[in-house]
Amino acid sequence: MTTHLLKRAPARPADMLAPVPEVALTLARVHEACGPARYSFALWLAAQTKGPLFWIAPNWGAAPLNPVGILPLINPGRIIFVRPRRPEELLWAMEEVLRTGAVSLVVADLPAPPALTPIRRLHLAAETGAKASGIPPLGLILTPGDGGAQGIESRWHMAPTYSAGTEVWQLTRLRARSAPPQSWHLTGLPDSPKLTSHGTETKIP
């Protein structure tokens, strides 16, 4: 039986990537992560997947991920790095990888939120990849500031906060098609993640 993964009806549990029940991302769609800890959010999601994954980032600007630094969250040997030389090649590379359905997660580190048309193309590429391989891929774009890409399935903001003796992040679901805005305190990464409710957001960028 073929499942159409672009429908707006709530997805079945098998169509979600959910490291904890409150954080559920629909597969075969493109999501956005922003905030100063967006890389930690992406690596947390990556740790919930199996096999290789693609990490697409420009070859200018910030240095690539440090293998030693990410080791507590994920084996760096799983990551295939792609370093395009031109801005337009970032989304092109992400679209091509999603279309193959060869990996379960594709991350693209972008200098700015993309427009609606490129996001639609990425959604369609992810759907095509799911049909081609039977493994619905998840696309995740990383954007600076508070994000703001049009047409994404969900938007997440993650930032470090402070607590004596433990690492704590504030994770906020800014936008989602099937869930309200919500904010939590996140602790226990990577092995025992725990979310503590931190109120409901009232403003969506």
Rg value, the chain, Cα: 16
pLDDT of residue 7: 39
Dihedral angle of Cα 45, 199, 185, 56, to the nearest 10 degrees: 30
pLDDT tens digit string along 51-76?
999 999 999 876 678 889 999 899 99
When pLDDT is cut at 50, 70 and 90, the band that residue 166 belongs to is confident
Does the domain spanning 22-153 belong to CATH 3.20.20.70? no
pTM of the model: 0.88
pLDDT of residue 5: 40
pLDDT tens digit string along 116-127?
999 999 999 999
